[in-house]
Structures are given as C-alpha cells and as structure tokens.
C-alpha cells in the first residue's frame, strides 16, 4: 500500500522506468536540426523586439537603422557558427564548452564556463516562457495582465513533463521547429512580395510617434547615440543563444557524426540569420513601433496612446499587417511562435540537468544531481532549474525586456572561453603534427577560432559596458556566486577524499580494547527491552543503562520497574537540574571516553516506527537530537533500535507483526 506522498508522486510523475528505456536512436540531419535548433531559432521571436525598442529610445529616425544592426548580429552569428564547426570536429564527445575550457584552460576556466551556461539555461527558460506568455496574450487579449501567472504555469507544466520523462522523440520535436520556420519564412516571403507589389500595409503601431529619451533627443549623434547602437546590437545578440547546443549533442547524430553536426550547425546559422534580418527589414518597411514603455514613449497625434492599448510583439504586428487581424494565418503565426518558445524552454530542461550531472560527477555540484530518478530523468536538476526560473519570472514580472538584459552575459562568457580553449587546442595540435596538409588544416581552423575569439570577446565587452547598469551585473554576480559555490563544493569533496583515503596508518592495527554498550532508558517498556536484548546479543565488554532524571516521580517508577523485573543490567540515574535531556547524556559519554580512551562506546536508542507523517512529529524528536550530537563524538557509535507501532502496518503491508518478539 502506497503512502499519500508516494501515491501523489505516482499520479504526477508516473511509474518507474527500467534502464532499457535509456537507449535512443541516432538522429539524421533533417531531424537533428529541429531538435537542437529550437533554442537558437526561438530567439527570432524576441531578438528583433529588443533591437527595435532599444533604438526607439532615440526616436523614430533611430529605428530606421535597425536592419543594419540586425545584419551586424547576423554576421556575428555566422562567424560564431563557423567557429563552433571547428569545435564539433575537434571535440565530438559532446562535452561542449565546459569540456573544451576545462581541458585546455584548466578547471577554474571550466567551472567559469559551467557557471555561465547554468545561468544561461535558467534565463533561457525564463525568457522563452515569458515571451510565450506575451504571444498568448496576443492571441487571447482577455488574458492581458496575467502574463506572470501564465509564465509560472508554463514552467510548472514543463517541469512536470520532464519529471515524467518526456522523451526527446525526433519527430515530436521536429514538427514545432519546422512549423515555426515555415510560418516565419512564409510570412516574410508574402511580406516582401507585397512590398515589391506596393501593397504592403502599415503596421498597427505605425501611426504612433516615439518620444525620445531626454539624453537622446538629438538621435544617434555623438557618444550617447553610438552607445545606444551598441546596446541595441548587444540586445539583438540574444539571437546567438543556443548555438552551442549542437556541439554538445554530436553523439546523438548519425554517422558521420562530425560532418552531420557541422552541416546542421551551418544550416542553423543561415536560417536564423535570414529570419532575423528579414523581420527587421519588414518592420522598417511597415513602420512598426516597439517601445519599452508605451504609455510614456508613444504619442498619437500629439496626445497619449488610447486607454487600454496593448503593445504586441514584432512578429504579431507583422502577421496582422501582412495578413489581417484575426485571420487564420495570423493565428498560425502566433501559434507557431508560441510553440517554438515552449520547445526552446524545454530544451533547457534537457541540457541543464545533464550539465549539472556532469559537474556533480566531477565533484563541483552536490552528488544528488548526479544520478537519474526513477523515470530516467535527472529529477533534482529539473527541480533546481524550474525553481530558479520561477524566481526570475516572478521577480521580473515576466518582462522579457528586463530579463533579456541578464541573458547575454553568460552566453558570451562561454563563447569567449570556448574559443580561447580551441586556440590553445590547435596550438598543441600544431606542435604534434608533421605533415604539411594536416598542418594547413590546423592553421585554418585556428584562424577561424581566433577570429571567433576576438569577435566574441569584443561583444562580451560591449555587452558588459552597455548593459551592466540595466541588469547585466545581476547575471555576472550570479556567475561569480555559482563559481564560488562550485569551487567550495569541489574543495570539500577533495578534502573529504584525502581524509578518507587509505594509507599505512589506516590498517586496523589498534583495535578497541573493549566495547562499552549504553542503553538509553525513559520507561521500562517493550522498545527498551528489545534494545536491551539486542545489546546483550552483541556481547559487549560492559553493558550499562542510563536514565535522565527529568521528573523524580517518573524516575522512581522506572527504577522500581527495573528492580521488579530483575533486569541484570546496572542502571545509572543522570541528574539534570536544568531539565536538559541531551547534555547529561553527552557529559556521561565524555567521562567514559576520558577514563577509557581506547574503548568503543555503542549507544542503543529505542525508536518508534510510525505509519503516518504527523506521528513522526510527536515521536523520536529527542532521539534525533541525541543522535545528531553523538555523531560528533569520536569513538562513539549510535545504534537505533526500531519498534514498529500498529500504525506502521498501513505503510508496510503483508509484513509479519514482530512487535511481540
């Protein structure tokens, strides 16, 4: 018979899976692309908005340069893709950036990259789900104001799905990605055709004027304007998130693994760059407006925006413009975008627990994150990720613009460290390689990774300079704190291993001279008699019983029962003038240790086994405190002697009743 909590777990999570369910088929390129690309592709849903709303701080004219900012982001994306193709060929084992940094730059760099990736995965969930909530409101306007709760519900549902062992079926995950690609490409194709035909309409927000910020009322001129363009670029660089996923998933590809993974990575870069730039060019052509605060930044005919105006994301506005509001194709675009965002968040639920498990195996995170649960998922990693993402969503009100300021730091920290590690890798390979053709290939790969290193390092500096005051410092602080935690855990595990390692002094030469058993007594009842029987069966050198005198009348009754039953074990009464239970016992044990330091002391503690959770609250609390204190005493062992109460029958059915034995 299951307990209430076991039954609830089975309802939510399901029955356990056997190890044979771990086997998964290898993926061809056509399936691997949508499986691994959802994170990177989904950034198209919010990266254009971030570029547009950042430039909008300088007014309408500044928004006109958004396509060129998008082209700059696309160029960086393609260069990073080219760099990661070299990663794929050099490290096909699937360790990704963490393995590259740790192998080539040392453990400190490795955990720096790991910290950045873990923070990035948490932000992936928070940003993707918050963006999906925005698109949900676009489709169902009645939900306006409920984005936070919708996002929180989405995280909880994804966590439950992954705790149940949601399988990475290639076809299951291929549909949302291809659906999204086809929808966006189709929308952009129709939009460009309308533009060439002169029938492209104006966006719903095109009639609004943008009020520039006080320091940017002159547009993009001067240092302030240049910094704003750089800030827009760094916001749009969110389109690069997820590029590293394919390099971590090379083992999942069909043979030839490296070539297939590299080809898939190239396709991802080309598709992502094309969609990002196409959306920005269409946004400019339709006069689309996206701002951070519509009530303050938008004006209609010189007056405020209409009451109840809800700003929709860029893709939603383009779908309304190219098709028509409320049309079938409008809802198709919204559905495709929302689904890909959810799939992207689910990708983080796969990658975060796996990386956490690798770090736990290496001793940088608690061992509880290392193993799979009974549904073959890394359950503790899933719970940790969902909890962290929920905190972010609630703290930032599911505001994508606020969350995106934290997002890019971890991405480019891992990019930069990975590329530096690859340059080191190729330098080592060059010293070991003799043939000219092979050396030329290495030099070419090193040049590509060096270009990627310089570019990602520059972008990282730009991100930190332009976004630090807007929230990037939070992500940087989280990375530093996580690094310190992992370093401390690793040092602790290393010290414990060193302390417990066998050496010449570890041989059991000096055995205890005697075994001194002590039974804790409160009343002369069946549990005490069982503890007494167990202690006598172990044949200790000496056997004593002790009782703490908390209530003189109770103590006298216990002593009288002890004498009446003629128990052949001496019992000692421990005085307790301040009505303490634990301290007199500890003092008694310490005195025994001082008198006979080589004696082994075994303390027998009777405990009740109960079947209901609330019964545990009213039993065994003193025993737990005594055990907790005695564990710190050298030369002392604690033996718990269980006594099953009647209520325990419900927890363990079909077991023989041994209470009377």
pLDDT of residue 660: 41
Residues 198, 200, 204, 206, CA torsion sign: negative
**Coil, helix or strand for 179?**
helix
- As a whole number of angstroms, the distance between CA 4 and CA 117 comes to 37
pLDDT digits (tens, 9 = 90+) for 438-467: 889 999 999 999 999 999 899 888 888 888
Is residue 630 assigned to a domain? Answer: yes
Q: Which domain holds residue 646?
A: 510-650
Is residue 185 assigned to a domain? Answer: yes
pLDDT digits (tens, 9 = 90+) for 550-608: 888 989 999 999 999 999 999 999 998 877 888 899 999 999 888 888 889 999 999 88
Nearest to 601 by CA among 530, 642, 542: 542
- Residue 371: both structure tokens together: 């193993």
Is residue 118 assigned to a domain? Answer: no
Dihedral Cα 248, 252, 256, 262, nearest 10 deg:
-40
- Residue 541: both structure tokens together: 């050198």
pLDDT digits (tens, 9 = 90+) for 223-277: 878 888 888 888 888 888 878 888 877 877 888 888 888 888 899 889 989 999 9
- Mean model confidence pLDDT for the chain: 84
Is residue 367 assigned to a domain? Answer: yes
In a shared domain, residues 394 and 532: no
Q: What is the CATH number of the domain that holds 542?
A: 3.40.50
In a shared domain, residues 393 and 518: no
Note the residue count of the chain: 661
In order, the DSSP letters of 27-61 are B-HHHHHHHHHHHHHHGGGTHHHHHHHHHGGG-HH
In a shared domain, residues 238 and 376: yes
- Which residue, chain included where needed, has tokens 């001082």? 594
CB 605 within 8 A of CB 520: yes
Q: Spell out a b/e string for 5-26, using b for 16 or more CB atoms within 10 Å of the CB, else e.
A: eeeeeeeebeeebeeeeeeeee
Where among 346, 379, 399 does a domain terminate?
A: 399
pLDDT of residue 183: 93
Question: How many domains, the chain?
Answer: 2
> Region 98-104: what's the mean pLDDT?
90
Is residue 344 assigned to a domain? Answer: yes
Check whether 529 has a pLDDT greater than 50: yes
Select the highest-mean-pLDDT range: 64-68, 216-220, 477-481: 477-481
Check whether 656 has a pLDDT greater than 70: no
Is residue 505 assigned to a domain? Answer: no
Is residue 480 assigned to a domain? Answer: no
- As a whole number of angstroms, the distance between CA 412 and CA 568 comes to 74
In a shared domain, residues 379 and 520: no
Is residue 387 assigned to a domain? Answer: yes
In a shared domain, residues 383 and 523: no
Select the highest-mean-pLDDT range: 267-271, 290-294, 495-499: 267-271
Where among 371, 399, 427 does a domain terminate?
A: 399
Quickly count: other Cβ atoms within 10 Å of residue 564's Cβ.
9
Q: What percent of the chain has pLDDT over 90?
A: 34
pLDDT of residue 447: 93
In a shared domain, residues 515 and 394: no
Between 311 and 610, name the one with better pLDDT.
311
- Answer left, alpha or beta for residue 516, where phi above 0 means left and psi between -120 and 50 means alpha: beta
Where among 399, 426, 446 does a domain terminate?
A: 399
- What number of CA atoms fall less than 13 Å from residue 590's CA on the CB side? 10
> Region 19-35: what's the mean pLDDT?
69
42 confidence band (pLDDT: 50, 70, 90): confident
């Amino acid at each position: 018979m299951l307990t209430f909590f076991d039954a609830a777990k089975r309802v939510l999570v399901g029955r356990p899976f056997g190890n044979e369910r771990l086997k998964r088929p290898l993926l061809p390129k056509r399936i691997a692309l949508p499986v691994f690309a959802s994170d990177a592709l989904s950034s198209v849903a919010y990266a254009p908005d971030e570029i547009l709303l950042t430039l909008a701080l300088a007014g309408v004219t500044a928004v006109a340069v958004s396509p060129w900012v998008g082209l700059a982001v696309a160029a960086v994306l393609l260069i990073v893709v080219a760099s990661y193709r070299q990663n794929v060929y050099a490290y096909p084992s699937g360790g990704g950036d963490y393995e590259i940094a740790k192998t080539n730059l040392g453990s400190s760099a490795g955990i720096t990259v790991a910290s950045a990736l873990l923070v990035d995965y948490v932000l992936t969930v928070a940003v993707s789900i918050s963006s999906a909530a925005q698109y949900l409101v676009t489709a169902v306007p009645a939900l306006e104001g409920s984005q936070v709760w919708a996002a929180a519900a989405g995280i909880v549902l994804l966590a439950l799905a992954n705790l149940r062992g949601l399988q990475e079926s290639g076809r299951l995950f291929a549909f949302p990605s291809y659906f999204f690609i086809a929808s966006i490409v189709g929308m952009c194709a129709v939009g460009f055709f309308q533009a060439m035909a002169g029938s492209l309409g104006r966006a719903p927000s095109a009639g609004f004027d943008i009020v520039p910020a006080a320091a940017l009322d002159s547009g993009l001129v001067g240092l302030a304007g240049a910094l704003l363009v750089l800030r827009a670029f760094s916001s749009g660089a969110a389109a690069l998130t997820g590029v590293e996923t394919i390099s971590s998933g090379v083992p999942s590809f069909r043979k030839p693994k490296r070539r297939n993974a590299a080809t898939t990575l190239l396709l991802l870069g080309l598709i992502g760059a094309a969609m990002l730039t196409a959306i920005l060019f269409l946004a400019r052509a339709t006069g689309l407006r996206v701002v951070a605060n519509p009530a303050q930044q938008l004006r209609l005919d010189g007056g405020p925006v209409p009451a109840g105006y809800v700003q929709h994301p860029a893709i939603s506005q383009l779908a309304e413009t190219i098709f028509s509001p409320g049309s079938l194709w409008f809802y198709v675009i919204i559905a495709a975008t929302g689904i890909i965002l959810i799939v992207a968040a689910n990708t983080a639920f796969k990658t975060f627990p796996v990386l956490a498990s690798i770090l736990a195996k290496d001793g940088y995170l608690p061992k509880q994150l290392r193993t799979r649960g009974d549904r073959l998922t890394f359950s503790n990693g899933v719970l940790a990720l969902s909890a962290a993402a929920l905190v972010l969503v609630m703290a930032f009100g599911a505001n994508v613009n606020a969350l995106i300021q934290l997002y890019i730091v971890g991405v480019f920290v891992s990019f930069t460290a990975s590329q530096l590690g690859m340059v080191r890798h190729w330098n080592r390979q060059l010293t070991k390689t003799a043939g000219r053709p092979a050396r030329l290939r290495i030099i070419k790969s090193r040049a590509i990774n060096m270009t990627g290193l310089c570019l990602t390092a520059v972008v990282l500096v730009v991100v930190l300079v332009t976004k630090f005051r807007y929230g990037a410092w939070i992500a940087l602080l989280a990375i530093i704190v996580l690094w310190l935690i992992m370093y401390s855990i690793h040092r602790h595990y290393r010290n414990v291993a060193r302390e417990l390692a066998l050496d010449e002094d570890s041989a059991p030469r000096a055995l205890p001279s005697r075994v001194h058993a002590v039974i804790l007594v409160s009343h002369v009842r069946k549990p005490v008699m069982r503890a007494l029987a167990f202690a006598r069966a172990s044949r200790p050198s000496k056997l004593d019983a002790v009782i703490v005198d908390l209530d003189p009348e109770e103590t006298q009754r216990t002593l009288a029962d002890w004498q009446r039953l003629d128990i052949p074990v001496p019992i000692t009464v421990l005085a307790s003038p301040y009505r303490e239970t634990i301290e007199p016992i500890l003092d008694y044990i310490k005195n025994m240790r001082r008198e006979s330091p080589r004696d082994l002391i075994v303390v027998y503690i009777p405990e009740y086994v109960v079947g209901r959770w609330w019964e545990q609250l009213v039993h065994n609390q003193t025993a737990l405190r005594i055990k907790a204190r005695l564990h710190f005493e050298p030369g002392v062992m604690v033996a718990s002697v269980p006594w099953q109460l009647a209520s325990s029958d419900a927890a363990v059915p079909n077991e023989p009743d041994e209470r009377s034995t």
